[in-house]
Amino acid sequence: MTASTISANAASPFSFVRGDEVAPEILHATFTAAFADYLIGPFQIPFAQWPMFLARQGVDLPLSRVALDASGAPLAFAFVAQRPVSNRWRLATMGAVPAARGTGAAPALLDDFIARAAAAGLRAVELEVFAQNERARRLYEGRGFRRQHDLFGFVAEPGTIAPSTGGSLHAIDMPHLLGWLEAAEHRIPDLPLQVTAATIRHGVDYHGWQRDGGQIVFSLPDETVMVHSFIALDEQTARTLIQTLAAVYPERRLRVPQLQRDDLGGATLRALGAVPLPLHQQLMLRPL
């Protein structure tokens, strides 16, 4: 960790450093401590996978900040990702070690994030938060963030979704599916970063299917069809993509993480019998 700290403000007991000024192993340990009691369970990432986690979240370490106490120990962090298509920054993840909660370190980082984005001429800032995480949601709402979309996850056991191969779709390779996602981000506002090309480009052994009006990107870990990006502009497209998955992989469980907008396929998943996960996220936006 270097000495090139950035003062939080004149009266603050904290100092901030850029994310790339903190040793990776210290940053990883701080993240692990902050998410040890996460709402959906301990969030533990092996250190060997830490660089890939940051890449998949689009984290820009020079734009990110870590709050330090007077001794230089990390208290909290705010990881920042750029969303150039929408002229926004995204709060990729923010957390505080248990001992720092209630000290004001996390709110100070959030205020700094908003102020820096405004000074950089950004149109807005965004984040995702679990709707059931009331403490975090109240903090964001108190800083002017408002819900734009609910983001749901789903699971469907084998045999739940009626299979169909009646629609017209075709498999595509990674360059073409990324190109489709890049175009979609320009056409469809408020896509979560994790379903866009910025994240999907880091996938390994991903498969993509397309038809007019939609695309699904998935992998086949264990006995599961794991959906990484599902964007359908109409119900018939959504049904064709999902029911074809059920036809091609009838013995596999379908899983969709909490990133699915109802208007882009989530409502169709419900109608086909997929069960929403107990917790869901909200995509929140604060204009600048």
Q: From first to last of the 288 residues of the chain, give the pLDDT tens digit.
A: 444 555 555 556 789 999 999 999 999 999 999 998 876 666 788 999 999 999 999 999 999 999 999 899 999 999 999 999 999 999 999 999 999 988 999 999 999 999 999 999 999 999 999 999 999 999 999 999 999 999 999 999 999 999 986 667 889 999 999 999 999 999 999 999 999 999 999 999 999 999 989 999 999 998 999 999 999 999 999 999 999 999 999 999 999 999 999 999 999 999 999 999 999 999 999 999
Q: What is the pLDDT of residue 238?
A: 96
Fold exhibited by the domain 152-279: Aminopeptidase (3.40.630)
Q: CATH number for 6-122: choose from 3.40.630.30, 3.40.109.10, 1.10.260.40, 3.40.50.300.
A: 3.40.630.30
| Span(s) in the chain for CATH 3.40.630.30 | 6-122, 152-279
pLDDT of residue 1: 43
Please return the burial class of 204, using the count of CB atoms within 10 Å of its CB with bins 0-12, 13-18 and 19+: exposed
In the chain, which ranges are E strands? 6-7, 15-18, 65-68, 74-83, 88-96, 124-130, 146-156, 170-172, 207-211, 214-219, 224-232, 253-260, 275-276, 281-287
pLDDT at position 76, please? 96
